[in-house]
Homo-oligomer: A and B are copies of this chain.
Amino acid sequence: MSHEALLLGIDAGGTSTRAVLTDSRGECLGYGIGGRGNPISAGPERAADGVLEAIGRALQPSGASLADIAVVTPAMAGSRASGDHTWLHSRLMREGFAGRLVFESDLLAAYFSGSASPFGYALVSGTGACVVRVRDGRIDGTGDGLGWLLGDRGSGFWIGHAIARAVVQDLDRTGPATALTGQVLDHYDLVPSESVVQGRSGALDALIEALYSRPPIELAALAPFAFDQPDPVAEGILRDAGRHLADTLAAVLAGPGPLVIGGSVLSRTGPVRDSFLERLGAAAEGLDLLPVGDGAIGAAFLAVRAAGGEPDAETLDALTRTISRFR
């Protein structure tokens, strides 16, 4: 092993965990994928398993062990709230780790996966939706990220929820007809029915039952239907989503800078992106839209910083380039 400090950046997510082994210049020396890594959703034991699994695979190519690691930087949702990190620290120490464990926000890691600038913005719209403003390399402003019940306006859940509401309003005729209705009925293996009981269609009753028998968050699975086809109702929903995302960004805007875009909702061109840019108007001109990278790259960038380095565009470039050897 070299005597250069070795660092681990980890993107610990709700469905999988990715780990990057790097040196302080951003040279990637290994990459590993593990299971669920968020202790809030997966439970601490299982989350630690996921993180250790990803680390084990990231260490393999170099033959390094946890005893060689100076800093581990897991980036994850809810990192603010979870002050107690023993769930992971004790497990790392058992494997010989004697370095520092520095938790970071997954949103900050998302930002630094796409930009090395100390000032800028990240907008992530996947199942949820959140915007952060980064200043001096730290989050100093947050918009939305309020969850499915209270916010996440313009997120995949928000779009899926709007689709479900549009479909039930089509079926009970309080709203316009939409091609989404057939797709959603199909999705739940329901057939359009001619039966009407007390002025209400049998298909509507069956759909209501199907929708209420599942956790609300699963409505996010309907979101892709809005992107699939030209339909005025679907397009209206997507344009509303774009406007909501623009309004959330506008609430934290404080001058021009890079805007790192994550999540599937705003990444593709089309109605969401069009109405997002229209709504931002002149403010959009000062923004440099960049695609989000692998969150583990941003976490590795933050690990370099936590080790006392001063990571910059060159570091991010090196990480992005050298990680491709292992993925």
Complexed CA–CA distance, A151 and B166 (Å)? 10
Interface residues of A in 151-208 (CB under 8 A from B): 151, 161, 164-165, 168-169, 172-174, 197-200, 205, 208
Contact A199 B133 (CB under 8 A): yes
Contact A212 B149 (CB under 8 A): yes
Contact A198 B151 (CB under 8 A): no
Contact A164 B139 (CB under 8 A): no
Complexed CA–CA distance, A175 and B299 (Å)? 32
Asked, given contacts A144-B174, A205-B81, whether A169 binds B151 with beta carbons under 8 Å apart, the answer is yes
How far, in Å, is A154 (CB) from chain B's closest CB?
A: 11
How far, in Å, is A209 (CB) from chain B's closest CB?
A: 8
Contact B211 A172 (CB under 8 A): no
Report if A289 contacts B (CB, 8 A).
no
Complexed CA–CA distance, A30 and B216 (Å)? 44
Candidates B199, B208, B211, B248; contact of A252 at CB < 8 Å: B199
Q: Which chain B residues lie closer than 8 Å to A13 at the CB level?
A: none
Chain B, residue nearest A131 (CB): B174
Q: Which chain B residues lie closer than 8 Å to A150 at the CB level?
A: 164-165, 168, 208, 211-212
Q: Which chain B residues lie closer than 8 Å to A144 at the CB level?
A: 172, 174
Candidates B142, B165, B197, B248; contact of A199 at CB < 8 Å: B142
Asked, given contacts A146-B208, A205-B81, whether A199 binds B151 with beta carbons under 8 Å apart, the answer is no
How far, in Å, is A181 (CB) from chain B's closest CB?
A: 13
How far, in Å, is A207 (CB) from chain B's closest CB?
A: 9
Report if A221 contacts B (CB, 8 A).
no
Report if A247 contacts B (CB, 8 A).
yes
Contact B149 A216 (CB under 8 A): yes
Contact B168 A80 (CB under 8 A): no
Asked, given contacts A144-B172, A205-B81, A211-B150, whether A139 binds B199 with beta carbons under 8 Å apart, the answer is yes
Chain B, residue nearest A105 (CB): B198
Complexed CA–CA distance, A141 and B174 (Å)? 11
Q: Which chain B residues lie closer than 8 Å to A132 at the CB level?
A: 198-199
Q: Which chain B residues lie closer than 8 Å to A168 at the CB level?
A: 146, 150-151
Complexed CA–CA distance, A143 and B146 (Å)? 31
Q: Which chain B residues lie closer than 8 Å to A318 at the CB level?
A: none
User: 1/0 per position for A87-105, CB-CB distance to B under 8 A?
Assistant: 0000000000000000001
Complexed CA–CA distance, A161 and B247 (Å)? 20
User: 1/0 per position for A227-240, CB-CB distance to B under 8 A?
Assistant: 00000000000000
Candidates B105, B149, B251; contact of A173 at CB < 8 Å: B251
Q: Which chain B residues lie closer than 8 Å to A81 at the CB level?
A: 205
Asked, given contacts A144-B172, A172-B143, A174-B247, whether A80 binds B149 with beta carbons under 8 Å apart, the answer is no
Report if A136 contacts B (CB, 8 A).
no
Q: List 6 A-B contacts (CB under 8 A).
A: A80-B200, A142-B199, A146-B165, A149-B216, A150-B164, A150-B165
The 5 A-B pairs at the shortest CB distance, nearest first, are namely A141-B199, A174-B251, A139-B198, A142-B199, A142-B200
